[in-house]
Structure 1
Amino acid sequence: MLDHLNFELITPTAAVHRKLHGARAKCLQRLIRLGMPVPDTVALSAATVRAIAGGQQPDTKALLEHFGSWPVLSVRASPVMPDWGGPGTILNIGMNRTNEAFFASRLGSTAAAALHLKFIRSYAVDVARLDDEMFDIPNLTVENALSAYEDETDEAFPQDVEVQLFNVLKSMARAWEGTSARLLRMSKGAPEDAGLGLVVQRMAFGMGKGESGSGVIQFINSDSGDAQEVGRYKPQSQGRDALSGGENDTMFLTQDKRGPSLQESKPDVFNELCRLGEVSRTGLREEMQIEFTLEGGKLFILDAVNAPRSARAEVAVVTSLANDEIISREDAVLRIEPRALSELLHQQVSPKAKRDVFARGIAASPGAATGKLVFDSFAAQTAAAQGEACILVRRETSPEDVRGMHAARGILTERGGANGHAAVIARGLGLPCVAGATDIDINTKARTMRGADGRVFSEGDVITLDGTKGQVLVGAMPMVEAGIGGAFRELLTWADEMRDIGVRANADTPEDAEVASLFNAEGIGLCRTEHMFFGEDRLTVLREAIFAEDAEDRAAALSRLLPMQRADFRDMFRIMAPRPVCLRLFDPPLHEFLPSTRAGIVELADALDMSAREVQARVDDLSEVNPMLGMRGVRLGITVPEIYDMQARAIFEAAIEASSEGAVVVPEVMIPLVSAKREVEIVKSRIDAVAADVMSETGKTLEYRLGVMVETPRAALRAGDIATHASFLSFGTNDMTQMTYGLSRDDAGRFMSTYVNQGVFPEDPFLALDQDGVGELLALASERGRHVRAKLTLSVCGEHGGDPDSIEFCRSLGMDYVSCSPYRVPIARLAAAQLAIRKPLEEDDVYEFPEDDGFVPL
């Protein structure tokens, strides 16, 4: 028999600990300390519960002595973390024929019988594991229920209170140890060996004479976080019955024209509940949902849990608590999960909506949108021009689809991964995206899509895309709008005061820069300048340059793009001033800007006054076997230097124009896909020459910074060489991960979940930075670059810049900033602040290199 000292009567000074007895037990002790009327409660430690699950008999007699004569009890689960779940509460333990007769004189025979019957049913279903339907009999009596139990189990229903209590404790302990329960709580972050505490509490009867009933109350609106009394009260009930009752058998808490309220019928009780709510808010430093019972008009507080709330409400609550000086601003910042901010930044499917899911994929970009299906960019642009919302569906997207992606409300692809083309562009645009939905079958000719369950959808059919959960839903769904309000901005202002690493945005157009500025990015860390070419007027001119026969014709065509790029850069400088703007020179292979369909070939031939055969031949000539490892980035800049010359001139002329208007502009020019020092020397010499020409022509002095995007493993290893000609190194971790792993980010989604599930990779390396492999390259490059140039600016501008764990690693390397999609900037700002609060950086906190890494200073 277990020693009775394993039971702890909860008093203000009792040795109750969350790690031993669970969160519920500790919360009840705090409620008692705050003077709340909590019924007598005993806490059982996780060790005791584990022993009971193993078959050991607890000293139930000693336990029952805590409750005096005629004990009738409840048992509730008390895990360390409330969201780990646990077996359901069992009420009225101790009810038997003798106790029913005793309580009939106190509560009335009807109430006593109802309490007894409720326990029989609960015990039969939850302890004896009988079918609940056997008790679904009209006018069921206690005697009928006892007979049904005996008929089903071939034994009498236990009348001994000690036997009842032990069997309940054993049943709940073993339910916690079950395989399915273990897997469920592990999915919520619980360790495999997590224990369960239990609390045994004297029943406060919500049934009987006088005003009796039960209810729950909270003091915030769960959606907005605004102050509001919310809840239900149900006369003649127990536990959380009020939440499952309808309007006909429950009462509102506050005065309501729809029906009676507790505030009207028992104003003294309502006012006391409001007082206790404020006591719990101040004392527990949290907004709580309180479970209460009235027994003959006397109020009892049975339990309290954090009031359920949306991310929007959570932000409102913590800022309110901080402003009322109940918690510190640091505590407020720490209480918000950074990734939860996505719920505020984007429209979401209502959590109350009924979902008809016909396909699933990778949750590549958060948010939700409803629209008509379209299967190409032209159809998306046509729909947008007609004011119709559309969802663009493609097998996979390419730069040719960018205009259609801009026109669509959401993007769905059959192929691609979390950091593929569709995902990256969608995040930059703030559009929901579901990528790698391999269970859909797209027929571009018929313009149809077959779902996983065989249903077929045609162009024009309405669907809803949930990029937060990676689901494709049938029809239009009710939405919850984005919630970027005052509390959101206030919280992030506090975060900015605390963080010690910069946060910039990846923004490719002036429109993107506006969003980045809205979210208080500290500058633009990556502008993919080629994305500015996808306007109809610009794309045709660029194609003329690509088709030019010689450098002179190419320069002439590019000169027509010069004023367009200059205007874009000038607008970005104006928007961001005095914050820095880092402009990456043209990166993709040229074939990405050429049509891939017969219709596109014919259209281009007509625009260039060429035959379709000539255009097709040129397209074929530019195609590459592996274009992402071919003539792109700096390789293109060296072999076709006129493009970089034009872009450099546009940048410098725009900087001078913006500066003359009062803006402080020091443009940062970034060379992509570098692998060798000599590449930088060649491009730098041309850019410096362009800068000199612009200054000579305008008579203005120009200051600028030149840097390199480190994307190849060789560039990382030779960072010391490269840093001699670069004032900054920005790590493009998307491509670096591809090249280090030998993985295509667009194709890895097909097998990545299998790899992660089988432990090959701990996480998708395109979502969370691989700190062991790719991370070591970053560490070596940082060390070697700063060995040569002590004040070298270091940053990450891949999508990992918005991942909290990746930010932590970048911070440990001493990087100056991270850069991510505009809609991930708030997440990065909050995550960086939390890191600074939890782990203040000291000089010896930076990344430690292996003792013998073979590094010889260059």
Structure 2
Amino acid sequence: MTEKKSIYFFGNKSAEGNGKMRDILGGKGANLAEMANIGIAVPCGFTISTQECNKYYENGNKISKELETEIDKYVKKLEDEIGASFGSEEKPLLVSVRSGAKFSMPGMMDTILNLGLNDKTVIALEKRTNNRRFALDSYRRFIQMYSDVVLGIDHHNFESILEDTKLAKGIINDTDLTADDLEKIVAKFKQIVLRETKSEFVQDIKSQLMGAIEAVFKSWMNERAIIYRKLHSIPDACGTAVNIQSMVFGNMGNTSATGVAFTRNPSTGEKKFYGEFLINAQGEDVVAGIRTPQPLLAEDGKNSMQELMPETYAELAQIFTKLENHYKDMQDVEFTVQEGKLWVLQTRSGKRSVRASVVIAVNMVSEGVITKEEAILRVEPNGLNQLLHPVLDRASDLHVIARGLPASPGAVSGKVVFDSKTAEEMRGNGHEVLLVRNETSPDDIGGMHSSVGILTAKGGMTSHAAVVARGMGKPCVSGCDALLISQHEKTIQIKGTKTIIKEGDLMTIDGGTGEIILGKARTTSAASFAEFDTLMKWSDEVRKIKVRVNAETALDVKTALGFGAEGIGLCRTEHMFFEKQKLLHFRKMILSEDKESRILALKEIKALQIADFAEIIDAMSGLPVNIRLLDPPLHEFVPHTKDEIDEIANYFKMDAKFIEAKAKTLHEANPMLGHRGSRLGVTYPEIFQMQVSAIFTAAISVFKKTAVMPQIEIMLPVIIDKKELKLLVDIVKSSADETLRDAGLEMKYKVGTMIEIPRACIIADEIAEIADYCSFGTNDLTQTTLGISRDDSGQFLPEYQKQGIFEHDPFATIDVKGVGTMIDMAISKARSVKKDITLSICGEHGGDPKSIAFFASLGVNYVSCSPFRIPIARLACSQAAVLVSKN
């Protein structure tokens, strides 16, 4: 590792840093250094390290004198390298200033271009290039960017002047503005600065540079950066680097251009260059969607780079191949052409849809670029949710009103909103919303996160909206120029029609086709594809942990089997009583006056239970079925309202006053810690006896019908003592054996328990003496270990995360230090008694990749999760196995 410094230089095919120094140089700086080292034409510059960002905050939000001295030294080095000087009235040095954290954070801070221009150097630039229009265009861009990013003046102040000028002249594009137009615009821009800041636009070049550097440091703690880090679990301590790079110009006329490209299609994964460029433009014009860009390839449309700049395109294609071979991954590349000379400004691993991620990973294995294990690690498990996104039902009537660019896949419907604040408010009130903007900016990150999808009128496939939506896994349609959006009126008119859509109206977008549909369209599940099946097959070959499903219905079982479930890890029998008719019978049992009437009521319930159990046992076709006996407190099923009480009284011809009185006797102050789970089995053994008899009656019927022997596992919930467990295991075995004996059938089965109380973890060795298996119910174990109710924690846990007390929501990702320690201890104790005992996870954490990585380190046998998280768990388990083998 190179010695840690404050600043690192790069350019002219060499660099002081390298691509492995992401912690110090940030992703952008590391890649600039690496490209220089492998001989790619990168404009010279230097990177201020991420550690200086942290020092800035430690120093009371001030740049230290020591860093300022180092900056001066490296500016001089850059001047010598380029042969130009800051502030020179003959050959002025101009630079760009960009942020660059270790992890890519799109839109953390807008780039500042053309820094070094003032009223004098702009004249020098005009003389050097003999191009007055170019010089003034560069100056107006710099004033606008610097004022927005550093001075905090809303960019719409400047955009309105540009739009008004074009409207007055009857022109559409910025490139149609003359030098005289631009000179007037520059003067108006400076007037805005004076009006908003009470000071003239900064003319001192060093002050410009220091202001820009400080703005980068400040951007690390701005709201949109904080939101992004929270969404992607990026630590605050990473900090951001600052990249100062000599300018190259894509706006010097028709032999100059700027563009953004991917070495493969980021939506589909197809091995084909994919990107856009603009002639006579600067980079922000492409990503901000200010002008509609042109395609790179001739096959993708007219006026392509391949046609208009064939030699430059051929050189760019060679660089794309070189970068992909070097990084062994699809690259996102920014480039500029200055009067025919090609420069690469940045490369990074390109953000892509999960479908593309899977396709690229699998294809790169077949191409011999990476191994199967590397391919498994390339795909983010949680992102597989994208592959389950619905698509439009082509058999239904689709009222397509417009088409844009298919920027991020998936079909969604939502209520139209026009700003991020409204999106967040409506989402908070339970509405699904569709964010519609002319173009998005980094300020929209909160609204984009709150929306089911994003639709923009401007911008291309590499615009801010497209890139961020793909990263979030949200459907997006961009560049739909048929949309005439009025932010003031909060309406959309479809160009050439009388169709008006108002805020709150329903619309549907398909980010895979670019279609925009009026109203809520019907959707269907996304189809599987060959590369996904291949990746899952590879995952299953390497993973050590099995994956089961939490399921109570045949439909859930069928879905789970389609996703590769290897059994049921948790069947919650109480969920089978949610249907109205079943709930009525269950309530009658709860409200029984005595044991005899309760047993009669249980007989009625038994028939319903048998049918339900038979359905799921049959659907599992011989795979393990782990059924948890009744867990929640009876209190949860008691009728509370007069209407509910009257309904039961009328249906079963019972006295309403008796029902009301009985309900009051069953009331519990804290039912989560009350009369539930195994406590019910001890006090009302007839309930558990009925359930066990129903389970084995169902299993026997399935065996007789199919000749497939079921694998039944009976799980006793909320165990707290060895004697309690022994009592209930005896009840279970007695009922099971009697049912099997009456049927004249032998069937092996297991009886285990769910560990979800700290005491059960502490005495896990005693529990293991009796139980055939133990499954950790991490939902309740988290509640009881932390003393926090997950139903109420949303009121205060966000503040705990903000304060750094919890890095993650402990109900989403396992609390390793607390709950994890309890599980670790319990596993050690259980296996000290019974070495081969089966241990598993069946709480929500069983489908969380971060949690799965931890469980893998403890050696659990399987995890169980909801049906649609089965592929996520399979991939996460395989990644854990790969990482263990690598270490």
Same fold (TM over 0.5): yes
CA distance in 2 between counterparts of 1:731 and 1:583 reads 14
Q: 1:780 aligns with which of 793, 817, 825?
A: 825
Is the aligned partner of 1:173 residue 2:218? Answer: no
Paired residue for 1:696? 741
Q: Contact 1:107–1:207 at 8 Å: present in 2 too? A: no
Letter in 1 for 2:76: K
Q: Match of 1:588, SS?
A: coil
Q: CA deviation at 1:236?
A: 1.8
Q: Which amino acid aligns with 1:10?
A: G
- 2:112 is the counterpart of 1:89: yes
In the alignment, which residue of structure 2 is the partner of 1:110? 133
Q: Distance in 1 between matches of 2:279 and 2:243?
A: 28
Supply the distance in 1 between the matched residues of 2:251 and 2:579 (Cα, whole angstroms).
69
User: Are 1:9 and 1:66, in contact at CA under 8 Å, matched by a contact in 2?
Assistant: no
Write the distance in 2 (CA, Å) between the matches of 1:95 and 1:294.
24
The residue that corresponds to 1:796 in the other structure is: 841
**What are the superposed Cα offsets for residues 163-194 of structure 1, whole Å, 9 maximum, x if unpaired?**
73x44432222223338647765662254473
Supply the AA of the counterpart residue of 1:639: T
Work out whether residues 602 and 612 of structure 1, in 8 Å CA contact, stay in contact via their aligned partners in 2.
yes
In the TM superposition, residue 134 of structure 1 has moved relative to its aligned partner by: 7.8
Distance 2:381 2:429 in 1: 17
Pick from 608, 617, 624 the counterpart of residue 564 of structure 1.
608
Contact between 2:323 and 2:331, CA under 8 Å: does it hold in 1? yes
Distance 1:657 1:144 in 2: 84
Give the one of 343, 346, 351 matched to 1:303: 346
Q: Is the 8 A contact 1:339 1:827 kept in 2?
A: yes
Shift in Å, 1:669:
0.6
1:645 aligns to 2:689 (yes or no)? yes
- Cα distance, 1:668 vs structure 2: 0.6
Question: Map of 1:246-325 to 2, 5 A cutoff?
Answer: 250-255=293-298, 260-325=303-368
Instruction: Give aligned pairs, total.
Output: 733
User: What's the CA shift for 1:155?
Assistant: 8.2
Q: Distance in 2 between matches of 1:46 and 1:785?
A: 46
1:600 aligns with 2:621: no
| Structure 1 stretch displaced more, 609-618 or 221-230 | 221-230
Partner amino acid for 2:359? A
Cα distance change, pair 780–82 in 1 and its aligned pair in 2 (3 A): closer
Can you list the C-alpha shifts for 1:132-151, whole angstroms capped at 9, x where unaligned? 75894854555994898699
Query: In structure 2, the residue corresponding to 1:673 is in which secondary structure?
Result: coil
Residue in 1 that maps onto 2:880: 835
Give the C-alpha shift of residue 761 in structure 1: 4.9
Q: Select which of 25, 28, 42 maps to 2:29.
A: 25
Match of 1:851 in 2: none
Q: State whether residues 42 and 201 of structure 1, in contact with CA within 8 Å, keep that contact through their aligned partners in structure 2.
A: no
Cα pair 1:67 1:202 within 8 Å, conserved: no
**Contact 1:293–1:299 (Cα < 8 Å) also in 2:** yes
* SS state at 2:868 partner: helix
Equivalent-residue separation in structure 1 for 2:118 and 2:702 (angstroms): 82
Please identify, of 262-271 and 147-156, the stretch whose mean Cα deviation from structure 2 is larger. Answer: 147-156
- Partners in 2 of 1:122 and 1:759 — Cα distance? 34
Q: Deviations over 1:595-649 (max 9, x none)?
A: 3222222221121122322332333343333333333222222332222222212
1:242 aligns with 2:286: yes
Amino acid at match of 1:61: K
Q: Distance in 2 between matches of 1:234 and 1:213?
A: 5
The 1:62/1:298 distance shift into structure 2, 3 A limit, reads: closer
Question: For residue 62 of structure 1, what is the aligned residue in structure 2?
Answer: 77
- TM-superposition CA deviations, 1:375-423 (whole Å, max 9, x none): xxxxxxxxxxxxxxxxxxxxxxxxxxxxxxxxxxx9xxxxxxxxxxxxx
CA distance in 1, matches of 2:780, 2:184: 73
Aligned partners of 1:462 and 1:145: how far apart in 2? 41
Residues 363/749 of structure 1: CA separation in 2 closer, same or farther (3 Å cut): farther
- Equivalences for residues 442-457 of structure 1 within 5 A: none
What TM-score, normalized by structure 1, do the two folds share? 0.74
The residue aligned with 2:17 is 16
CA distance in 1, matches of 2:151, 2:591: 80
Q: Which AA in structure 2 matches 1:62? A: K
Q: Match of 1:450?
A: none
**Equivalent runs, 1:667-816 vs 2, <5 Å:** 667-758=712-803, 761=806, 763-816=808-861
Pairwise CA distance, 1:97: 5.4
Aligned partners of 2:122 and 2:136 also within 8 Å: no
Q: Is the 8 A contact 2:765 2:829 kept in 1?
A: yes
Shift of 1:701: 1.3
What SS class does the counterpart of residue 177 from structure 1 fall into?
A: helix
Question: Would you say the 8 A contact 2:96–2:244 is kept in 1?
Answer: yes
**Whole-angstrom distance in 2 between the partners of 1:256 and 1:558:** 70
Measure how far apart 1:706 and its partner are. 0.6
The CA deviation string for residues 578-609 of structure 1, in whole angstroms up to 9 with x for no partner, is 43111011222334334322222222112112
Deviation at 1:667, TM superposition (A): 0.6
Percentage of matched positions with identical amino acids:
32
Structure 2 vs 1, CA of residues 706 and 32 (structure 1 numbering), >3 Å: closer, same or farther?
Answer: same
Deviation of 1:521 (Å): 2.3
| Inter-partner Cα distance in structure 2 for 1:759 and 1:724 | 41
Cα distance change of structure 1 residues 80 and 529 upon mapping to structure 2, 3 Å threshold? same
Equivalent of 1:546 in 590, 593, 600: 590
Match of 2:423 among 342, 357, 366: 357
TM-superposed deviation, 1:702: 0.8
Amino acid aligned to 2:666: L
- Judge conservation of contact 1:53–1:173 (CA < 8 Å) in 2: no
Tell me, what secondary structure is at the counterpart of 1:540?
helix
Aligned in 2, Cα 1:246/1:509: closer, same or farther, shift over 3 Å? same
Residue of structure 2 equivalent to 1:424: none
CA contact (8 A) 1:52 1:173 kept: no
Instruction: Give the secondary structure class of the aligned counterpart of 1:22.
Output: helix
Shift of 1:670: 0.8
CA distance in 2, matches of 1:478, 1:92: 49
* Alignment check: 8 A CA contact 1:580 1:666 kept: yes
Contact between 1:517 and 1:575, CA under 8 Å: does it hold in 2?
Answer: no
Asked if 1 retains the 8 angstrom alpha-carbon contact of 2:133 and 2:182, the reply is no
Are 2:262 and 2:274, in contact at CA under 8 Å, matched by a contact in 1?
Answer: yes
The corresponding residue for 2:492 is: none
List per-residue Cα deviations over 1:61-116 (Å, max 9, x = no partner): 33211113646443232534253545623226468757856765755443344345
Deviates most, 700-709 or 726-735 = 726-735
Q: State the AA in 2 paired with 1:616.
A: E
Q: 1:45 to 1:477 in 2, by over 3 A?
A: farther
Contact 1:24 1:79 in 2 (8 A): yes
8 Å contact 1:509–1:531 — kept in the other structure?
A: no
Q: Distance in 2 between matches of 1:35 and 1:565?
A: 71
Instruction: Deviation per CA, 1:355-383: give whole Å up to 9, x if none.
Output: 6337478999xx9699xxxxxxxxxxxxx
Residue segments in structure 2 that go unaligned for 5+ positions in a row: 54-62, 85-90, 166-179, 391-409, 435-451, 453-473, 475-503, 509-517
For residues 572 and 42 of structure 1, do their structure 2 counterparts lie closer, same or farther at Cα, with a shift above 3 Å needed?
Answer: same
Bigger Cα displacement from structure 2, 123-132 vs 181-190: 123-132
CA distance in 1 between partners of 2:338 and 2:774 (Å): 70
Give the direction of change, closer, same or farther, for the CA distance of 1:108–1:647 in structure 2 (3 Å limit): same
Structure 2 contact 10–16 (Cα < 8 Å) conserved: no
Superposed, 1:233-632 pairs within 5 Å as 233-244=277-288, 250-255=293-298, 260-346=303-389, 354=418, 356-357=422-423, 359=425, 483=526, 485-486=528-529, 487-632=531-676
